[in-house]
Structure 1
């Protein structure tokens, strides 16, 4: 059996030298690759401009780094798209203006209707107060405010009638009180004239269908007319009776009642037929011309402005 080989120092030396050489080669290759990579990345980095600001109160000067715009691309604008967008915006603005005009006109019309309704309500409330023989109270101020400038005479008549109220019931009671005198007229003309009138009315010739001219029939018709609310017709019947001159208080009250109702009719008509408030026609506003916009080639956008030469940005 042959003896085992023993490694000598010469064999170990050349192996160690080869390993060190390989390690040095790998380190050099890595360093070269790192340097090349840094150089490639550093070429794409944009230059920056450094601006030093004045020293502050703390004694330190802040430094602000601003990217340089010397190599920034010039933006381009599509004129066709800009013009289309401008037309679209103009159409929308016109539509909004038309809607605004319609809303304003409707609001004015609604305000006019509300004013009419309020005027009618005030007139109806005043009529109800007079029918009940009550004072107007706050309605007097409302009547003066709403109708005093257009119907001053009617307002004065209504206010005076409210201060001396006369109702249908008052007229009925008053007619019953003066009915005997109205039928005979003895107190105003004397008993002899009254007797002669009675004798002349014993035989009355009239056409068929015509109302009876007898005083008693006239008073009866006046009562029926008062029950129906026709005071003016009842006053006409009473005025044709023999004792009408002795019923001046009743006829005066009836005339005040009639005048007050006519005044109420006048203000109700004024409230109902008040001129409506209509909005003025909307005025079309022409869109303002678009400002000139320069493109990268120096062409001007529609708007009438002359293109000006663009100055290069100055580094800060």
Structure 2
């Protein structure tokens, strides 16, 4: 790890000014510090945003939703009574991710900002357009079992590893940010994570100097919440496929359903047209498989990850029929 300067921000303004001048914000550091140890990330300055005032709370909004401070830890959010009662999908998704020790350190804002990555991203001897734009994508040539089957590009087929983000996408979350001028803006989580295109090194819609302050959720959707994660081992592993879903099924018919995949794309993968195709249809395998056809249109394997296409279909069916 190279030497770096370190400071602590005492307000969002402090943090945003530091970020605007080139400092990298750090909270729990569960992703950034790992990458710094490997010399993949080499910032000259870090600014701690771990103790910013009033960003460690979960509060109810006047509209019946919730606001989640960016510094709320993953462990605290998953265990919060309000989240467990009204947004169990979010609680279950968080508990499916990482280890208890990491969840104790990782924050809501930091989870959203963790790098979209793959094996080649970590291997300094392999080509990776994220690390070095224009060097190529080694994953497309092989060793791509964990990589994307949809949403990728010629430049990158890495997947976003966040379980929490899958739930937030299903729940129509909004990410609130502030910059050094005091300007605030709201970014729908649907457009927060970017597809790689020709610029895979740019992963989110954040502008330089912007700091995440909180995430808001509208009132919870009606239906049963469920999160299913398929992985190589039952703890501390990224998803091969995950599905977050909320389904309202009555008398054998799907009144409404919404779902998003994790583990298959550079961002949580939700296609609203697929959800609409299930509305008021029989709750049976054929209905769900038709929705999956729509959601996975254009999906493509690269050899080692060909199995993900069939696994995604089966995981969605199993999740919605549970």
TM-score w.r.t. structure 1 length?
Answer: 0.21
Of Structure 1 and Structure 2, which has the larger fraction of its residues in helix?
1
